[in-house]
Structure 1
Amino acid sequence: MNNKTMKALEFDKIRDQLDSFASSSLGRRKIKDLMPSPSFEEVVKWQEETDEGATVIRLKGRVPLDGIFDITPHAKRARIGGMLSPSELREIASTLKAGRMLQKFIDEMLDGELELPLLAEYMSTLCDLFDIEKLISNAIGDGGEVLDSASEKLRTLRTQLRANEAKVREKLESMIRSSSAQKMLSDSIITIRNDRFVIPVKQEYKGVYGGIVHDQSSSGQTLFIEPQAIVTLNNLLQELRASEQQEIERILIQLSVTVGEYTQELLHNVSVMGQMDFIFAKARYASSIKATKPKLNNEGRMKLFKAKHPLIDRNQVVANDIFLGEDFSTIVITGPNTGGKTVTLKTVGLCTLMAQAGLQLPTLDGSEMCVFEKVFADIGDEQSIEQSLSTFSSHMVNIVEILDEVDHNTLVLFDELGAGTDPQEGAALAISILDEVHARSARIIATTHYPELKAYGYNREGVINASVEFDVETLSPTYKLLIGVPGRSNAFEISKRLGLPERIIRDAKGYIGEDTNKVENMIASLEQSRKAAEDERVEARDYLRSAEKLHSDLQKELVQFYEEKDAEIEAAKVKAQKIVEKAKLEAEEVISELRDLRLHKLADVKEHELIEARKKLENAAPTLSKKVQPLPKQDHVFEAGDEVKVLSLNGKGTLLEQTGKKEWLVQIGILKMKVKEKDMEYIKPQKVVETKPLAIVKGKDFHVSLELDLRGERYENALIRVEKYIDDALLAGYPRVSIIHGKGTGALRTGVQEYLKNHRSVKGIRFGEAGEGGSGVTIVEFK
């Protein structure tokens, strides 16, 4: 796309808005490089991707894209044998986990029979690197620290370190707690200098403790001394720390080598995650501006319904219907300054660029947009002092460049065509330029002040005039685009409303040619006719919508009626079948009894026995009773305001007024119709039954905190407190609580989480977010 066009239409500001919806630097990089595409197939794919993303956002609201990092430099450095830092390895594990969570999220939506073919295809290409993620996670903590679990040797070294540190502290604490230490020490504390434990000793007592002086205060009155008694212990600590650092480096090198073996897979996953972040950023941006997916074509056809400029406040911008490329390929917009002509021009241009960049448009559903190979815009004043270019010259430079490249698959936007020079010559040039571009079958929208161009649309096939509406009553533009109506001068009307004497206005009209007056009168007549037609169109559209809604509602009710009817008939058939089966069984029993009588008694059956058997048969036959419901009598005298049921439509309505004998005007929803009284049934208003409020029995009032702090607790005591706290939180009815266990060695955290996982009332647990305490806090959700 032409860079001047991108700058003139302020497409960079669209990218800036889009950037705020990205979740990672990967997505932001793609947004920075975003450019409209001239390829129809590519634009169709981009729009489909954005639409699938918008569907996910609409249904779920949020997509799990947290924890994605640009790990490209990490992977490349690992491939050439570099050692990665713990934080870099943590970013790799976090990105892999984010990809796994996103894949699970998309798979769950696909299991719900949602069609997301493009997103599913991206997710299917992700490489399964869970082993790498698990390996790093077991060795590196959330804060980028190397965990004790990274290796058995590291765990042993750190255990020895903690034990020796405890010995050093114990030794030093016994020193500072002695009675003599109170006067020799500046403060009864243990501190660290040069990674060695020291105590603050007053200058005059430096020889008492012996050992090594590591530092002194700014005044020189306090010396930080490592007493001779703990030098050996501190030396041992230093050796253990050195061994610990060597083991950490060995672990990091081993992890880096493993990562380097999967560089290609990591780079591919990063690319996919960046693309997914980019797609969902476009979807979230579309949601923020209430945008819709346009129907695309490559036939030069554009239909924008209620299009809004995306960079203007939605509460202030005026929406316009804009059509181009079907009945006409050129629009010439005339009218005064500050009327909104340039905004309309930029709205069309930006919507075109946005559509071809895969962004949805701030329009109503059903809008259609063409994919152009080239888009040119000559907008604004680009005069240059350095190049000695006037306003007119700068416009002509742009227009010459446009004429060199324009063809049938081009959109051209001219703002104030021919301005900046003699009006007569400028108008002639504007007409000639429009003729040239129009002859090449390009799509054109041009704005102008020249009255000569008002007749241009009437004399050229495929060209139409347009204007931006001006309200003479308020002396301000409405910014509403009127296609088919040329702009007219409102100077006389405005002057009259501002108080200019009628005599002066009448004299001024006399200086205007008769043809000009006729044109202005014709335009005024066209505008009045257009307003009348617009009002009638809106009224007809409202009636059509109400009729369509009523028709749809009636169809639904009819379908429901037949479904219920079929269901009842089927149920009746099943019931009748059961009755018949029962009757057959009873008849068989009767016949069996008759045969037994005849065989056992070896004689004819007596009359009273036959009568009794016949009676049993009669009783076994099912009887069908048919109840006829009498029609309700209309003893109510109808009045305006009564609520009635219209029998033929099976719908409720309100009586408005009587229109004839036994006939009323009824309001059904937004539809009004005349209905006979015999087709209505009065609906009695329901009585409102007052109910007494239920008494609420309150239990014992006690407060349970939303968080439990276990820091500093011993393992056994901590679990006892957790058990009691969970019971109290469940009694309080909390849906979620926080347990603070700190990071530390991870033993307390592991114990607490193991207990919670096995608790029957716990629905799930997770670490806290960055603002909730990270891995030092466990969030508990109850069932």
Structure 2
Amino acid sequence: MNLKVLELLEFDKVKQQMFKYVKTEKAKSIIENLQPFCTIEEVNRNLNETNEALNFIKEFEYPDFNGLNDIVSSIEKISKSGIVTVKEIYRIGTTLKCIRGVRNYLEQGNVEYLKYYFDNIHSFKFLEEAILKAIKDGEEISDFASENLFKIRKELKSKTAEIKRKLSDVLKTYSKYLQENIFTIRGDRYCVPVKAEYKSQVQGIVHNQSSSGSTYFIEPLVLVNLNNEVNELIENEKEEIQRILRMLCMKIYDNFDLINISVKNIYLLEFIFGKASYANEIEGIRPIINEDEKIYLISARHPLIEKNKVVPLTLDFSNDRKAIIITGPNTGGKTVTLKTLGLMHIMALSGMFIPAYEGTEIMFLNEIFADIGDEQSIENSLSTFSSHVKNIVSIIENLKPRTLVLLDEVGSGTDPEEGAALAISIIEHFINENCKVMGTTHYSQLKTYAIESENVENASMEFDVNTLKPTYRLNVGIPGKSNAFIISRALGMNEDIIENANKYLSGNTIKLDKIIRSLEEKNIEAVKNNKEIEILKEENKILNEKLKKRFDSIEKERAKIIESANLESEKIINDAKEQIDYILKTINDLEINGVNSKGIKDLEAARREMKKKIDQENKVKEEKRKVKLNQNEIVFKAGMSAFLNRIGQNVILLNNPDSKGEVSVQAGVLKLSVNVCELESVNSNRSDKVVRNKKDLKLKTSSMSMSIDLRGLDTLDAINEVDKYLDDAFVSGLNEVSIIHGKGTGALRKSISDLLRTHIHVKSYRLGEYNEGGNGVTIVYIK
């Protein structure tokens, strides 16, 4: 994609916003070179990677990239046996530790689209620990890098301490011969500053003389051997440090290939998680990428405009629309609309999430061209018109299939009649080349052209004639008006002048204004109807949910009652059987023991009584079964009314029962699938019962409280209670209710206010007056 359009649509500024989410120059370089991909497969793969990274962030927070450094040049030097510093090796160690941490981070979740990177970052814990143990604070080798180094440094400290003790004695002995009562170091040797006239009084080796010649720096003889030993230890220390560094470099060299591929992939992961973090910041979504000629933006927001100022763009640029012509006043947002459309495509096709709502669709494009802004050039003797024409000529010469063309003030800067004709011809050329075109204009001829053309659509930037300010909202399907007369009148222009100006309007202009006015009125009516439909749909959804919950509750209760009854019945029968068995056993025992016949007769009578109870229980169950069978003999057909036991109300059959007896029924707004064995014929007694139930429900709802007290509840519980209370109030037909939340810190009041602002049943609300509870109470008016 051409770099000029990326700059023109400010993609570079978007990328600069992403820089704060990465720290290495390598990751920043990947961002700098980011641009739309060439295939839809690459686009979707990169969007999937961003999406998976964002899911990881939401579940496990942001991965820890601390310690990650740009080490590619350092490991390449090591691979070529080059010299590296202690600091470079330390940065390699912290990077390896970071790689291991990110690998462990990814192991927490299900890696799918990031699996390639996960598989190609390797753990080097042994090497990482060796480096970080050997080097402390990134600057010097630790005492514990090796046993030998520890031993050398321990002895070095001991010798140095001995030298300082002897120096202390020397300073006391020769204090009168010294320039200052201090010691100094000259060429790694401890010396004392001796006055020139006393240099023969101090036995030792002269190492240096001051520039004035007044001071000699002499190494006392008592320190010579100790200084030699210290210097030898220093050399041993340097050799041991070099040996340690060589050992670490050798380990890095041995693992160069795996380290190299791990490092390159960790930079890519840093970049991907940077994209995901940016998506999180702008509240971005993964757009749908289609290969049709369809663009559908839902509340798309320009990411460079502050969130509290940006006006979302909703645009349906469907397959049958080839061009959209936007008209409207200056500073109304036409150019921002062009840039938003272009930038949304560049971001999405670069694998980035875009600030819009779910369901947004982006057309896969091979190219985007734009002619936006006044590029008048004095140096090249180009007027505004010439500059626009030059840009458009360049676009025409470089057209590709699947191209989006953005034209700002097309045809402007010349004679209006010729400019409008040229603009129409340019737009038609792009349409014939199968391009998608969005352009802005002030020319009325283009409005008429869009009305008369089958695949060209008018659009306008909304303008509030009351405040004389643009709203920056795009209205597709309606051309814009200049509103010159309305604005002039509002600003105090003489009415006679405005009336006189009307005479000079052409018939076509007046006709077009009438068309626009008619379209605006229809649009207002359509918006109003849509809102009413949405409200009704939402209310219907709520009622359906409530009825479904009620139905589920009744079904559970019914199953529970049946189960309980069956258990009770079985218990009675089992108890009776046990008693009979006991009686029979007792009779047998009595017979064996020779008990008189009267006792036997009494027991026999008891047995007969128990059997009678069992027979009665069985008879009741059989009668119930026969009643059910008789009911099932009724032939139910589509359109008939029947009584459904499980919900306790009449239903209407929507179709004839199938071979298994299954049938669909309508119960109010609820459709159910039942078996005919659950249906009964409608009779007056049951109807009366239903009426009584409805009457009871009405009495119950009409008696509900006009207020709800939330004091003492936490915010979440309070919101749930208010939501349920408002539903009940709506069903009960209440017009006004009070919510008592208390004054406190105001946090609960704010949460309740946020809920009421968007609640489906709330018409309006306000804080209570002094005699109503003041700020501690909110009065709500129900729709």
TM-score range (shorter-chain normalised) is: 0.7 to 0.9
Hey, what's the Cα distance between the residues in 2 that align with 1:194 and 1:548?
91
CA separation of 1:582/1:487 partners in 2, compared to 1, >3 Å: closer, same or farther?
Answer: same
Q: Is residue 474 of structure 2 the alignment partner of residue 481 of structure 1?
A: yes
| Larger helix fraction of residues | 2
CA separation of 1:262/1:563 partners in 2, compared to 1, >3 Å: closer, same or farther?
Answer: farther
Superposition deviation, residue 3 in structure 1: 1.7
Q: Is residue 188 of structure 2 the alignment partner of residue 123 of structure 1?
A: no
Which residue does the alignment assign to 2:742?
none
CA separation of 1:602/1:187 partners in 2, compared to 1, >3 Å: closer, same or farther?
Answer: farther
Q: Is residue 706 of structure 2 the alignment partner of residue 641 of structure 1?
A: yes
Superposition deviation, residue 24 in structure 1: 2.3
> Quick one: which amino acid aligns to residue 73 of structure 1?
S
> Quick one: which amino acid aligns to residue 85 of structure 1?
T
Retained in 2: the 8 A contact 1:141–1:147? yes
Select between 213-222 and 91-100 the one with higher mean Cα deviation. 213-222
Q: Is residue 66 of structure 2 the alignment partner of residue 66 of structure 1?
A: yes
Hey, what's the Cα distance between the residues in 2 that align with 1:550 and 1:608?
68
- When Rg is computed on C-alpha atoms for both structures, the one with the higher figure is 2
Hey, what's the Cα distance between the residues in 2 that align with 1:17 and 1:199?
61
Q: Secondary structure of the equivalent of 1:500?
A: coil
Hey, what's the Cα distance between the residues in 2 that align with 1:636 and 1:436?
67
Which residue does the alignment assign to 2:599?
607
Hey, what's the Cα distance between the residues in 1 that align with 2:337 and 2:199?
85
CA separation of 1:410/1:184 partners in 2, compared to 1, >3 Å: closer, same or farther?
Answer: same
Which residue does the alignment assign to 2:149?
154
Q: Which one of 314, 329, 332 corresponds to residue 325 of structure 2? A: 332
Hey, what's the Cα distance between the residues in 1 that align with 2:247 and 2:3?
49
Q: Secondary structure of the equivalent of 1:290?
A: coil
Which residue does the alignment assign to 2:282?
289
Hey, what's the Cα distance between the residues in 2 that align with 1:338 and 1:610?
109
Q: Secondary structure of the equivalent of 1:16?
A: helix
Q: Secondary structure of the equivalent of 1:467?
A: strand
Superposition deviation, residue 152 in structure 1: 2.8
CA separation of 1:186/1:488 partners in 2, compared to 1, >3 Å: closer, same or farther?
Answer: farther
Hey, what's the Cα distance between the residues in 1 that align with 2:588 and 2:186?
115
Which residue does the alignment assign to 1:737?
none
Select between 384-393 and 14-23 the one with higher mean Cα deviation. 384-393
Q: Secondary structure of the equivalent of 1:118?
A: coil
Select between 540-549 and 371-380 the one with higher mean Cα deviation. 540-549
Q: Is residue 531 of structure 2 the alignment partner of residue 538 of structure 1?
A: yes
Q: Is residue 37 of structure 2 the alignment partner of residue 37 of structure 1?
A: yes
Q: How many residues align?
A: 648
Q: Which one of 437, 447, 454 corresponds to residue 444 of structure 1? A: 437
Which residue does the alignment assign to 1:350?
343
Q: Is residue 407 of structure 2 the alignment partner of residue 414 of structure 1?
A: yes
Q: Which one of 340, 355, 359 corresponds to residue 352 of structure 2? A: 359
Hey, what's the Cα distance between the residues in 2 that align with 1:155 and 1:606?
112
Which residue does the alignment assign to 1:253?
246
Q: Secondary structure of the equivalent of 1:251?
A: helix
Retained in 2: the 8 A contact 1:640–1:655? no
> Quick one: which amino acid aligns to residue 351 of structure 1?
M
Q: Secondary structure of the equivalent of 1:229?
A: helix
Deviations 1:445-469 (A, max 9, x none): 0011212111111121111001111
Which residue does the alignment assign to 1:468?
461
Retained in 1: the 8 A contact 2:121–2:263? no
Which residue does the alignment assign to 1:750?
none
TM-score, normalization by structure 1: 0.74
Superposition deviation, residue 373 in structure 1: 0.8
Superposition deviation, residue 499 in structure 1: 0.7
Retained in 2: the 8 A contact 1:68–1:98? yes
Q: Is residue 387 of structure 2 the alignment partner of residue 424 of structure 1?
A: no
Which residue does the alignment assign to 1:502?
495
List alignment gaps of at least 5 residues for structure 2: 618-692, 710-722, 739-755, 763-783
Select between 236-245 and 510-519 the one with higher mean Cα deviation. 510-519
Hey, what's the Cα distance between the residues in 1 that align with 2:225 and 2:234?
14
Deviations 1:720-756 (A, max 9, x none): xxxxxxxxxxxxxxxxxxxxxxxxxxxxxxxxxxxxx
CA separation of 1:569/1:171 partners in 2, compared to 1, >3 Å: closer, same or farther?
Answer: farther
Superposition deviation, residue 218 in structure 1: 9.4
Deviations 1:60-98 (A, max 9, x none): 232122211222112211111223322222222222221
Structure with higher RCO (Cα < 8 A, 6+ apart): 1
Q: Secondary structure of the equivalent of 1:468?
A: strand
Which residue does the alignment assign to 1:79?
79
Retained in 2: the 8 A contact 1:465–1:483? yes
CA-atom RMSD in angstroms: 4.1
Retained in 2: the 8 A contact 1:82–1:256? no
Deviations 1:484-510 (A, max 9, x none): 111111111111111111111111111
Which residue does the alignment assign to 2:312?
319
Retained in 2: the 8 A contact 1:68–1:95? yes
Which residue does the alignment assign to 2:774?
none
Retained in 1: the 8 A contact 2:444–2:509? no
Q: Which one of 154, 164, 167 corresponds to residue 169 of structure 1? A: 164
Q: Secondary structure of the equivalent of 1:109?
A: coil
Hey, what's the Cα distance between the residues in 2 that align with 1:657 and 1:126?
59
CA separation of 1:170/1:452 partners in 2, compared to 1, >3 Å: closer, same or farther?
Answer: same
Retained in 2: the 8 A contact 1:643–1:655? no
Alignment of 1:376-391 (within 5 A): 376-391=369-384
CA separation of 1:249/1:508 partners in 2, compared to 1, >3 Å: closer, same or farther?
Answer: same
Which residue does the alignment assign to 2:752?
none
Which residue does the alignment assign to 2:391?
398
Which residue does the alignment assign to 2:50?
50
CA separation of 1:634/1:289 partners in 2, compared to 1, >3 Å: closer, same or farther?
Answer: closer
Alignment of 1:508-527 (within 5 A): 508-527=501-520
Hey, what's the Cα distance between the residues in 1 that align with 2:480 and 2:123?
64
Deviations 1:82-119 (A, max 9, x none): 23322222222222221111111111123xxxxx3012
Deviations 1:635-676 (A, max 9, x none): 9984882679xxxxx9645787999xxx76699994559xxx
Q: Percent same amino acid among aligned pairs?
A: 36
List alignment gaps of at least 5 residues for structure 1: 111-115, 625-629, 645-649, 674-783
Hey, what's the Cα distance between the residues in 2 that align with 1:207 and 1:480?
97
Q: Is residue 436 of structure 2 the alignment partner of residue 371 of structure 1?
A: no
Q: Is residue 200 of structure 2 the alignment partner of residue 135 of structure 1?
A: no
Hey, what's the Cα distance between the residues in 1 that align with 2:117 and 2:179?
66
Alignment of 1:377-776 (within 5 A): 377-549=370-542, 551-552=544-545, 555=548, 559=552, 590=582, 594=586, 597=589, 601=593, 607=599, 638=703, 641=706, 652-653=725-726, 670=759
Hey, what's the Cα distance between the residues in 1 that align with 2:566 and 2:34?
66
Deviations 1:472-531 (A, max 9, x none): 221221111111111111111111111111111111111112221221232133223323
Retained in 1: the 8 A contact 2:590–2:600? no
Retained in 1: the 8 A contact 2:49–2:114? yes
CA separation of 1:664/1:9 partners in 2, compared to 1, >3 Å: closer, same or farther?
Answer: closer
Retained in 2: the 8 A contact 1:65–1:102? yes
Retained in 2: the 8 A contact 1:36–1:356? yes
CA separation of 1:592/1:435 partners in 2, compared to 1, >3 Å: closer, same or farther?
Answer: same
Hey, what's the Cα distance between the residues in 1 that align with 2:576 and 2:205?
113
Retained in 2: the 8 A contact 1:654–1:667? no
Select between 265-274 and 581-590 the one with higher mean Cα deviation. 581-590
Deviations 1:220-240 (A, max 9, x none): 887765433223212211111
Deviations 1:273-297 (A, max 9, x none): 0111111000111111111110110
Hey, what's the Cα distance between the residues in 2 that align with 1:481 and 1:126?
48
Which residue does the alignment assign to 1:688?
none
Select between 522-531 and 508-517 the one with higher mean Cα deviation. 522-531
